[in-house]
Amino acid sequence: MLYLHNGHDLAFTPTLRFRSIDDGRTWQRLDETVPRCAWAHSFADGELFEIDNYGLAVPGSPDETVFYGAWSRPSVPDDVPRREMVRVHFHDLAAFPLKEWLNGNPTMPWWPQWREVYKLDRIDFDRISFRGPFFTSMIALDSSRLMALGYAQHNNGKWITMPFESADRGRTWRQVGTITDLANNQPITNEASLVRLGDGRLFSVLRTEAPLVQSWSNDEGRTWSQPQPLQVIDEPHKPAHVWPVLRLMGNGCLVLAYGRPGKNLLIDPTGTSTAWQSRLDLHAWELQTQEIMGVPESQRLRGVVGKPLDETLDRYHDSGDYLGLVADGPDELLVTYDVQDYLEHWNARPFSGVRMLRVRIQS
């Protein structure tokens, strides 16, 4: 499955949803099950759970929000997805008026949900509000429980990252802890990824305003260690800034993808989260490939590597540097990312789309 958000940081832009049954060589578009999928989880029995980006603040329930959710079986050609309301329970999260978010898709497939939750005869922008979290990772804890990480703004204004647990295949969720809390010595965090290590601990890598940080839990997400920056053991590289994605491979390796600046993969061959090394610089690989293919230097993928982010960041005409990471067997990965106005060779026309690479991990 491949999801493409159409737009950078724009609320209510649609998501394109594709399926491939030939290892990513060709793709078929499927009808959307939720308007803008934030995360999807595949159960062991083949059912797929998808949850929307946006949670509605529930009138009269300050500790609850409602999302669109959908359950389907993509491997069944004639399957009809089942869309339902997903309820998420939490503590002391801020709400945002709809007026602050009105950009993007004008057709608003969310209108039926807004009318139902707010009991409206027509859309009344003054009455509709949103409340977090924004989900960025999800795993199965065991055969009956899911855990998801989401970030949201607390009522005091600080952005924090929290684990949520579901025991009914994603239909209801409850907050079970906090990775980063309101203490002054805790960083402001948002996007986060989650895996269970071989020793049973939960492990997360989180985005902050500067370096990526990591944290561990010994009690199924109830409490977490103080977040600390990732350490790379074989070079003076400091992983930053956005969208960390973790995968625990069948061969026992941990893989971490992240970007902006650049596009990077890190490997921990021990699978312990303490031996990050062997960085693959995909941005440099792209530049080398374009040079070999005769693309003039001024027209190659530019990026912001080694340059001030606030001066050279151009996600709209270069790349958003958000990476997707899918394990394909015990030691191979499919890596995806967007490119804008990209030239593959000297005589090519520029295109905007998705690049997909196959990466093999060798000891």
On whether residue 75 sits in a domain, the answer given is: yes
pLDDT the model gives residue 123: 78
On whether residue 74 sits in a domain, the answer given is: yes
| pLDDT-derived band at 53, boundaries 50, 70, 90 | very high
On whether residue 23 sits in a domain, the answer given is: yes
Percent of the chain with pLDDT over 70: 98
Q: Do residues 205 and 212 touch, judged by C-beta distance below 8 A? A: yes
Which helix (H) or strand (E) segment holds residue 111: the answer is helix 111-118
Asked whether residue 11 carries a pLDDT value surpassing 70, the answer given is yes
Question: Pick the residue with more confidence: 73 or 124?
Answer: 73
Q: If you average pLDDT over residues 219-238, what whole number do you get?
A: 95
Percent of the chain with pLDDT over 90: 68
Ranges assigned E (strand) in 90-171? 95-97, 129-131, 134-140, 146-153, 159-166
Q: If you average pLDDT over residues 277-292, what whole number do you get?
A: 95
Mean pLDDT of the chain: 91
pLDDT the model gives residue 31: 80
Please confirm whether the linkage preceding 187 is cis (ω < 30° from 0). no
Q: If you average pLDDT over residues 22-26, what whole number do you get?
A: 82
Asked whether residue 233 carries a pLDDT value surpassing 90, the answer given is yes
Residues in a beta bridge with 39: 51
**Confidence (pTM):** 0.93
Euclidean distance between CA atoms 34 and 51, whole angstroms: 7
The tokens describing 77, both together, are 């050609």
pLDDT the model gives residue 101: 79
pLDDT the model gives residue 307: 74
Written as one letter, the residue type at 318 is D
Residues in a beta bridge with 146: 140, 166
What tens digit of pLDDT does each residue of 89-112 get? 999 999 999 888 776 555 788 989
pLDDT the model gives residue 303: 78
Asked whether residue 292 carries a pLDDT value surpassing 70, the answer given is yes
- Concatenating the DSSP letter of every residue in 350-362 gives PEEEEEEEEEE--
Query: Exposed, middle or buried: residue 1 (CB in 10 Å: 0-12, 13-18, 19+)?
Result: middle
Q: Do residues 303 and 283 touch, judged by C-beta distance below 8 A? A: yes
Range of the domain at 117: 1-82+96-131
What tens digit of pLDDT does each residue of 309-338 get? 767 777 777 888 999 999 999 999 999 999
pLDDT the model gives residue 104: 56
Q: If you average pLDDT over residues 128-145, what whole number do you get?
A: 93
Which helix (H) or strand (E) segment holds residue 113: the answer is helix 111-118
Q: If you average pLDDT over residues 277-290, what whole number do you get?
A: 94
DSSP 3-state assignment of 268?
strand
Q: If you average pLDDT over residues 267-279, what whole number do you get?
A: 96
Written as one letter, the residue type at 166 is S
What tens digit of pLDDT does each residue of 151-176 get? 999 999 999 999 999 999 999 999 99
Q: Do residues 337 and 352 touch, judged by C-beta distance below 8 A? A: no
What tens digit of pLDDT does each residue of 302-314 get? 877 777 776 777 7
Written as one letter, the residue type at 262 is G
pLDDT the model gives residue 106: 58
pLDDT the model gives residue 214: 96
- Concatenating the DSSP letter of every residue in 322-350 gives --EEEE-SSSEEEEEEEEEEE-SSTTPPP
Euclidean distance between CA atoms 199 and 85, whole angstroms: 35
| Sign of torsion over alpha carbons 322, 142, 82, 93 | negative
Residues 6 or more apart from 298 whose CB is under 8 A from it?
none
Euclidean distance between CA atoms 144 and 187, whole angstroms: 32
Contacts of residues 65-69 at CB distance under 8 Å and 24 or more positions apart, as own/partner, are 65/90, 65/93, 65/130, 65/131, 65/132, 65/133, 66/113, 66/117, 68/34, 68/35, 68/110, 68/113, 69/34, 69/170, 69/171
On whether residue 37 sits in a domain, the answer given is: yes
Asked whether residue 78 carries a pLDDT value surpassing 70, the answer given is yes
Query: Exposed, middle or buried: residue 330 (CB in 10 Å: 0-12, 13-18, 19+)?
Result: exposed
On whether residue 70 sits in a domain, the answer given is: yes
Euclidean distance between CA atoms 13 and 165, whole angstroms: 28
On whether residue 284 sits in a domain, the answer given is: no
| pLDDT-derived band at 283, boundaries 50, 70, 90 | very high
Tokens 């625990």 found at: 248
On whether residue 120 sits in a domain, the answer given is: yes
The count of structural domains within the chain is 1
On whether residue 61 sits in a domain, the answer given is: yes
Which helix (H) or strand (E) segment holds residue 193: the answer is strand 192-196
